[in-house]
Structure 1
Amino acid sequence: MQVRAERLEDIEAVRRINIAAFGRSGEADLVDRLRPITPTLSLVAVASDQIVGHIFFSPVAIDNTALFIFGLAPVAVLPNYQRQGIGTLLIQQGLTECDRLGCKAVVVLGHPEYYSRFGFIPAKRKGLRCEYTVPDEAFMVLELESGVLDSCEGIVRYRSEFNALE
């Protein structure tokens, strides 16, 4: 299994993976809308010369702060390859790359039991709230630089491209 940066020739495979994983085109459309934005991070998992997984990070903003923070969304693995550790590998390598790029923290909206394995904690514990109405325990944050959010609180705002996601 190899994880690498998405390439131009991967775009259609990434789209197929997101549609297959989510059973709809919403996340694939979101990635297509976000891809031209800078900075973003898009990684693929490759097994036997086939792209089987994808993860995407895009910038988010916290009111009244200029910290470089990414939102993780989406992460997708082809159904036949799920439950084999590919999503875990994508998240681990994605977080490592986010840190290398100078990102200070990553937020995610997802299953607390799953994302806590990577060190994510409820964002509310750091004084952060999601702009969307979501359960507190499902909106999580991981500091890539310890303590960077200690004096930071406010609403986390996603790119407007997320507003079209249902």
Structure 2
Amino acid sequence: MTTALTIRDEMPEDEASITKVTIAAFETLQISSHTEQFIVRALRSAGVLSISLVAERDSHTVGHIAFSPVTISDGTTDWYGLGPVSVHPDYQRQGIGKALIETGLAQLKRLNAQGCCLVGHPAYYRKFGFKTTTELSVSGVPPEVFFVLHLQDAKPRGVVQFHEAFSATS
């Protein structure tokens, strides 16, 4: 019998378990630079984790998702970047990542966010409504792996820049 999944806001005492889950989730991914745990720590240190959710099962952290503000060259505000999202390998393919994304997007909507963007796997994020676009781009990122989700009517145009924490390597 599988116990219920709990998704809640990150608390200070979750930092170590989030780091462990993030390392484990990306450890074997060839497309990863294996710096995701450093990115989360740098976002937290910079005070820009707008939404940071933990997934728990049996009082153990099994997943995490982060949302942080992005800037857009046309001056549009209230857009956020999704990522990283991590699920421990022992708990993948159980709907935990989906639950984290859906809960995080619902929280963004409550914040009256204009939109959300991410760099990720094309086959996965489309099911949440994310689409590629020609109106927005990220320098150095192929357009087929950059996705946006409009949460309001505004349609910004320009270059998206994720927080400098996404460059963290240690």
Provide TM-score, normalisation by structure 2. Answer: 0.89
Question: Which position in structure 1 is the counterpart of 2:70?
Answer: 60
Task: Give every structure 1 segment of 4 or more consecutive aligned residues whose post-TM-superposition deviation is greater than 3 Å.
Answer: none
For 2:138, the equivalent position in structure 1 comes to 130
Where does residue 83 of structure 1 map in the other structure? 93
- Percent identical pairs in the alignment equals 40
Q: Deviations over 1:53-103 (max 9, x none)?
A: 000011100003141111011000010000100000000001001111221
Which residue number in structure 1 is paired with residue 163 of structure 2?
Answer: 159
Asked if the contact 1:18/1:25 (under 8 Å) is kept, the reply is no
Which residue in the other structure is 1:30 paired with?
A: 39
Unaligned runs of 5+ in 1: none
**Contact in 1 for aligned 2:52/2:65 (Cα 8 Å):** yes
Give the TM-score of the pair, scaled to structure 1: 0.91
* In structure 2, distance between residues paired with 1:29 and 1:153: 30
Kept after mapping to 1: 8 A contact 2:63/2:86: yes
Q: Extract unaligned runs of 5+ from structure 2.
A: 28-32
CA RMSD for the aligned pairs?
A: 1.6
Matches within 5 A, 1:4-153: 4-23=8-27, 26-36=35-45, 37-38=47-48, 40-124=50-134, 127-131=135-139, 133-145=140-152, 147-149=153-155, 152-153=156-157
Aligned length: 160
State the AA in 2 paired with 1:161. Answer: A
